[in-house]
Amino acid sequence: MVSENPFAEFRSECENSLGDAVKKLFPDIRIERLSLDKPPTSEFGQLASSMCFELAKKLGKKPSTLAERLVKTLDKSKFSLIKHVVVAGGGYINFHVDFAKFSALTIDSIRHFDMEYGFVKTDKPLKVIVEHTSVNPLHPIHVGHARNPMLGDTIARLLESRGHSVCRHYYVDDVGGQSAVLAYGYEKLGMPKPDGKPDHFFGKIYTATSCLTEINRLKRQLERAKTVSATEEINKLTRELDDWMSVAAELKDKYPRLFEELLEKVSEDENPEIPINELNRAYEAEDAHVKQLIREASELCLQGFKETLSRAGVFYDSWDWESELVWNNRVQEILEKLKRTPYIFTLDGVSEFDAEKVVQKCSLRRKLGLRESYEVPSLTLMRSDGTTLYPIRDIAYTLWKFERAEKVINVVGMEQKLPQLQLKIALHALGYGNFADNLIHFAYNHVNLPGYRMEGRRGRYITFDAVMDEAVKRAYEEVSKRSPQLSEEEKQKISNFVGMGAVRYALVEVDPSKPVVFTWDRVLNFETNSAPYIQYSHARGCSILRKAAKKPEKPAYELLKEKLEHEIIVTLASFPENFIEAAELLKPSLIADFANSLADKFNTFYNALPVIKAKPQELSDARLGLVDAVRIVLRNALSLIGIFAPERM
């Protein structure tokens, strides 16, 4: 007998047994839900019900008395995986599993399903778009961005393994002021061929151009403030200018030749903002020259992104250009449709969307989880010069995605909470409430590097490429120290998947609502809670099986009687339920926590109990079967996070 979800089999048996007893004793009592939870320790069994405390309120009797009556009423002849049931804690009903049968069911099931074990399919498969990363093509992906593709890719893997049809999308944000700044600097330099990795090259141009135009703007504002003797404004502008001048000094020191050339070219324009704004308008109007200019810079930058992301094991099914939504009139159509609603008003020559009015008229406050006192700010859709802003383009893009999917997940930082809320409200205003209900903002917190503050616009960041390089380098040093007998080729191969796995795990294992504090001591820890630690545990299991040089022939699983063994079996049996929860609630960190917990238990088992040398032979075979099951589940869990499970380390 095998099962795709062994612990669910035990849970179902407990629920049915208890439900039948309740119906027999109290036919007139209706219980909303027979909830069963895992007790804090295995001494109290593997599942426990607190139902008698609820029953006691309805019947006016002691919970312990009710629990005793129910346990006596249980039909023990139907027990298969249940060994015995006891009353504890003044009214809890504790179910103890029959480990002789449960161990066989769990280990046989894992070895039978192998690479598919744990990945229970949904009854309602959907077409899902997961849009993630979507870094603007202006500068390299840095470590602050990197959490997004690691989470987005893991979510896509979870949903795909759950049986959904998943499409991974990258939104190329090539419209707007930032793209125009890069195009301005790129054109000033004569559109040179990238020197080195293209995204790094364009990052230098964007940062230097942004810095020089900002200095120019502040100087002009300062001159105007001085003419009217606005002391407070003068002081504020002077501080900002000093800050940007220090940035300029940093950039000149890092990229002397490029910075000097840009300084000379940008200085030719009295006000660089004028040609930059003109570039932005011309690109939206699909001017041929500007289209070639911005598309060339964007596509070259994306080449660098693809190289970085493929190295991290992240790939996309679709690259969606924001500009296409403008050029094919989708954005204009949505804007016109919104203007026909009562929710658009004009303020100082710009179009505004009254989000709060929609919330009130459509009674959305409770549905969107908004406080009664909170007033949703209005949303600016267009500038006075007729160019659009990203919110209206985002609405058009969302509707485009829903033409292709039933559910859309946007992996976007938590700082975008308000724009994502306004996006949902806009969908309701347009009559697409069903789309709003199936639009998920998967929010996540920042990555913090102790002692370092990243600011992309000022060029102060650590690239994701540099982080991956450093991870592989540090992994190589650790592998060389631990396994000096390996060949150079083996060391390089191992250090690559260890380093990459370490980075992926570190950015996924922390709950998305919490910031990731990125330190190398934690990321590349071979002793606990890291990808190298889990990978090493998997490799250890493979090593045991290699040394045994045979498959278990007569595994007597009833001989697995140690507490450690039982804990591992329950953990292995629970992997499918853990996976379902992670996929349904979009909680990638649950998989990382599970893998780490299983690795902990397995390493404790390895250090405490013999496997190959265990006597009798049937016990050795049973433990080899257990090791094989651990190997399979660790590999499957790591695969969901996109981490390679090595057989040797």
Confidence of residue 360 (pLDDT cuts 50, 70, 90): very high
What pLDDT is attached to residue 50? 93
Provide mean pLDDT across the span 188-210: 96
Within 255-389, residue ranges assigned H as helices are 256-266, 273-284, 288-311, 322-327, 330-339, 355-361
Rg (CA), the chain: 30
Confidence of residue 459 (pLDDT cuts 50, 70, 90): confident
pLDDT digits (tens, 9 = 90+) for 507-550: 999 999 999 988 888 888 877 888 999 999 999 999 999 999 87
Provide mean pLDDT across the span 453-475: 84
Q: Rounded to an integer, what is the distance from CA 115 to the centroid of its chain?
A: 23
Provide mean pLDDT across the span 349-374: 94
Closest CA to 557 of 549, 547, 568, 546: 568
Provide mean pLDDT across the span 600-628: 96
Q: Rounded to an integer, what is the distance from CA 30 to the centroid of its chain?
A: 40
What pLDDT is attached to residue 523? 83
Q: How many CA atoms lie within 13 A of 524 on its CB side?
A: 21
Whether pLDDT at 482 is above 90:
no
Whether pLDDT at 572 is above 80:
yes
pLDDT digits (tens, 9 = 90+) for 442-452: 999 999 888 76
Within 62-197, residue ranges assigned H as helices are 63-73, 99-113, 143-161, 177-188
What structural domains and CATH numbers belong to the chain? 6-97 (3.30.1360.70), 127-175+319-448 (3.40.50.620), 177-304 (no CATH), 464-640 (1.10.730.10)
pLDDT digits (tens, 9 = 90+) for 613-624: 999 999 999 999
What pLDDT is attached to residue 457? 65
pLDDT digits (tens, 9 = 90+) for 32-54: 778 899 999 999 999 999 999 98
pLDDT digits (tens, 9 = 90+) for 68-120: 999 999 999 999 999 999 999 889 999 999 999 999 999 999 999 999 999 99
Confidence of residue 499 (pLDDT cuts 50, 70, 90): very high
Give the Cα separation of 286 and 293 in Å (integer): 11
pTM of the model: 0.93
Give the Cα separation of 99 and 83 in Å (integer): 8
pLDDT digits (tens, 9 = 90+) for 575-585: 999 999 999 99
Q: Are 262 and 205 in contact (CB under 8 A)?
A: yes
Provide mean pLDDT across the span 301-307: 98
Confidence of residue 385 (pLDDT cuts 50, 70, 90): confident
Residue labelled with tokens 């095998």: 2
Whether pLDDT at 648 is above 90:
no
Residue labelled with tokens 């191969």: 493
Whether pLDDT at 456 is above 70:
no
What pLDDT is attached to residue 412? 97
Residue labelled with tokens 């020191």: 253
Chain mean pLDDT for the chain: 94
What pLDDT is attached to residue 281? 95
Inter-CA distances, 285 with 387, 395, 488, Å: 9, 19, 56
